[in-house]
Structure 1
Amino acid sequence: MGFDTQAIHAGEEPDFDGHPSGDVVVPIHLSSTFARRDVDEPTGGFEYSRSGNPTRFALEKKLAAIEGARYGLAFSSGLAAETTLCLSLLKAGDHVVAFDDLYGGTRRLFTRVFQENYGIGFSYADARDPENIKAAIRKDTKIIWLESPTNPLLRLCDIRAIAGIAHDAGARVVVDNTFASPYFQQPIGLGADVVVHSTTKYINGHSDSIGGALVTSDEELFRKLRFHQNTAGGILSPFDSFLVSRGIKTLALRMKRHEKNALAVAEFLSGHAKVAAVYYPGLASHPQHALARKQMKGFSGMLSVELKGGEAETRKFLRHLHLFALAESLGGVESLIEHPATMTHASIPPSERKKVGISDTLVRISVGIENADDLLADLDQALGTI
């Protein structure tokens, strides 16, 4: 079944026996608890909404389907999903190898919570070369944690190659697929054990819900994750589950437009006198363009730009934009822009940001689905002020 069809129908097939009304859209089940006729037989398998809710269950089936996996779990945020994953797979003394270019919130979680409080070790390596990951693996390494493309420098890693290295070492592979979305990339099919999403971003797509997801095809791992989800309680609400499920139905259409607009923006900025560099996998000039074409179906709507001048010029440019809202987050229908050094990645020490390549003149752009000419005109007039 095609992606577009799965996105609409998975988890929402009309149930004429269980729902006599024949709902085409799964209802929002707001009930906190579910009555049963017999003590030992929960009605429909549901007993308490933290443990399971029909609206969330429908979304979780849809999440698994669009990632080409067997199981999905929906959480209250992307970081709640990551926390549950770490609680499920790691203990004191374990070790994680992570891509050195990661979302700032993920690195903060690793460093300030799991490393400082729970004695879990983290090493960071440039995963653009799989040999760097191989060299960083230790006997106690349990997880290889990847983003591809990365946040914010749009770097890629060869997921299949790294999965082979990790599995030979007895480690699991986790891939944050938020930037690509399941429409453009399905890491499970490339050998990943778990896929992480901030559903806040492209999957929901409308900047009106905070959520996260874990997806896997490993039944034993899924049962462990579901146990910790229920025990720790970071579940997605029924109403947010409805919003995310609704957003997924137009994911294919939106991602095509995001990609088309992003390519237009990337090409425009690549030729602008005020721009020093553009990072977008869809450009032939991107050093990993060939890898992007190999493991992705498209290039998504995210790009980052290095401006000429200093931080003062960068701030001036950001202040003069009209259509690009200066805001964190990404993947919504509206265009957003942000300054990683002082916003999304401010929690990373300056020395570490510099080491990775996050400068004070770097801006990250989430290109929306507006008219491309309007977006280019807005960028051009703002660049004209510096």
Structure 2
Amino acid sequence: MNDITPREALNFDELGFDTAAVRAGTLRSEYNEHAEALFLTSSFCFKSAAEAAERFANSEDFFTYSRFTNPTVTMLQDRLAALEGGEACIATASGMSAILSIVMSACNAGDHIVSSRSIFGSTLNLFATVFTRFGITTTFVDPNDLDAWRAAVQPTTKLFFLETPSNPLTEVSDIRAVADVAHEAGALFVVDNCFCSPALQRPIEHGADVVVHSATKYIDGQGRVLGGAIIGKRDFVMGKVFVFVRTTGPSLSAFNAWLMLRGLETLPIRMERQSANAFKIAQWLETQPGIKRVWYPSLASHPQHDIAKRQQKTGGALVAFELHGDTPEAQRANAWRVIDQTRVISITGNLGDTRTTITHPASTTHARVTPEARAAAGVTEGVIRLSVGLEDPNDICADLARGIA
């Protein structure tokens, strides 16, 4: 693209993941900067009217306008594609805009989606309310019931959507098994890999057609900016998603992409350390008498422990646990007490940060979901979600113990 070219074409399939996280996709201008440059410009100049016409006609191959082509964003896209093992990537303004862009690129009015019922609250509302206004319907199923996935298929089914591990209960689904069902139905199979990141799980290797991220979470990793990403085969990503994003404009800013490039450099070591911390905290939570249940994929008690061992490198950094209570009101009171007694942990709905965060999903991330949908997904009033950071896990346990006691 233009005068900004890689020093050499490296094949990151032949290099380690850690190397790709630091160097994949790097472009250098004529100034030969070492760190990735931040291109804060809305548009790019041309040598002539003829060149402008040519480059707008082939806009995916040239830098013309930052709503759809920007060097800093391109570097992030190329790096994420390399890390996920995909052919192409489009970055968007947020994870939700990434999911919106996928569905609007793949589906038309009258089409049908089959989705796991165990998904982020805003994703569920997008499928259940927003898309229905455009004639796109969704059937929600138990993510680990393959017969339910098959039974939900209709002649108009165009897309399967799976989030694994799920938010907030870390349910793990067999990606390969669901992929087989999706492909039997002729459907595009999309996997939300936000909560593992490519450092721990690469869904394309297990049969996914498209991987989607809220890059706001572990890709950035420090709670600074919003972003989303769509990775998959070039014909879909560049042939359909790029056209949609170019036209409608849910684009990622160059500044946000620049910060995420820096975040990716530490992704492998962050995920390794945060996963280790989360495992220690989950083990400790299982010993506490005030805790009814703990969900963490690396625990032997987790319902999908064997699947997680097969397709994830570690259990990840999310831990969910449920408090006792005779009534939903009592459960909520107990959960809020634990949250309010913390002093070290940040009370916030975000996750994936280097700082440990805590939230009550039923009244925050899943508050706009119907009570029936929350109950079906197992999100009770007693559930607390913990996103474990880089602090000393003993300090996090001590912080939680204050309220649990």
Q: TM (normalized to structure 2)?
A: 0.91
How is 1:22-33 mapped onto 2 (pairs within 5 angstroms)? 22-33=32-43
> Which residue of structure 2 aligns with residue 338 of structure 1?
359
> Which residue of structure 1 aligns with residue 76 of structure 2?
59
Q: Percent identity?
A: 39
Residue type of the partner of 2:150?
Answer: K
Q: Is the 8 A contact 1:216 1:222 kept in 2?
A: no
User: What's the offset of the Cα at 1:210?
Assistant: 0.6
Q: Is the 8 A contact 1:261 1:369 kept in 2?
A: yes
Q: Is the 8 A contact 2:85 2:204 kept in 1?
A: yes
> Which residue of structure 2 aligns with residue 2 of structure 1?
16
State whether structure 2 residue 239 is matched by structure 1 residue 231: no
> Which residue of structure 2 aligns with residue 101 of structure 1?
118
**Equivalent position to 1:294, from 297, 305, 310:** 310
> Which residue of structure 1 aligns with residue 92 of structure 2?
75
Separation in structure 1 between the aligned mates of residue 123 and residue 314 of structure 2, nearest angstrom: 25
User: What's the offset of the Cα at 1:162?
Assistant: 1.0
User: What's the offset of the Cα at 1:20?
Assistant: 2.8
State whether structure 2 residue 191 is matched by structure 1 residue 172: no
Separation in structure 1 between the aligned mates of residue 68 and residue 333 of structure 2, nearest angstrom: 50
User: What's the offset of the Cα at 1:129?
Assistant: 2.3
> Which residue of structure 2 aligns with residue 257 of structure 1?
273
User: What's the offset of the Cα at 1:181?
Assistant: 0.8
Runs of 4+ aligned structure 1 residues displaced above 2 Å come to 38-44, 217-222
Kindly provide the CA deviation profile for residues 280-312 of structure 1, in whole angstroms up to 9, marking residues without a partner as x: 001011111110011111111001100112211
- The SS at the match of 1:305 is strand
What is the aligned residue count?
A: 379
Give the root-mean-square deviation of aligned CA atoms.
1.2
> Which residue of structure 2 aligns with residue 143 of structure 1?
159
> Which residue of structure 2 aligns with residue 49 of structure 1?
66
Residue type of the partner of 2:276?
Answer: K
> Which residue of structure 2 aligns with residue 202 of structure 1?
218
How is 1:242-253 mapped onto 2 (pairs within 5 angstroms)? 242-253=258-269
Separation in structure 1 between the aligned mates of residue 65 and residue 303 of structure 2, nearest angstrom: 50
**Equivalent position to 1:285, from 291, 301, 313:** 301
- The SS at the match of 1:330 is coil
Q: Is the 8 A contact 1:97 1:137 kept in 2?
A: yes
Kindly provide the CA deviation profile for residues 228-263 of structure 1, in whole angstroms up to 9, marking residues without a partner as x: 011110011010010111100100010001100000
Separation in structure 1 between the aligned mates of residue 87 and residue 316 of structure 2, nearest angstrom: 24
State whether structure 2 residue 337 is matched by structure 1 residue 323: no
Residue type of the partner of 1:373?
Answer: N
Separation in structure 2 between the aligned mates of residue 54 and residue 242 of structure 1, nearest angstrom: 10
> Which residue of structure 2 aligns with residue 158 of structure 1?
174
Stretches of structure 1 lacking an aligned partner (at least 5 in a row): none
Stretches of structure 2 lacking an aligned partner (at least 5 in a row): 1-14, 56-60, 326-330
User: What's the offset of the Cα at 1:381?
Assistant: 1.6
1:220–1:83 CA distance, 2 compared to 1 (3 A): closer
- The SS at the match of 1:228 is helix
User: What's the offset of the Cα at 1:35?
Assistant: 0.5
How is 1:177-188 mapped onto 2 (pairs within 5 angstroms)? 177-188=193-204
Residue type of the partner of 1:360?
Answer: E
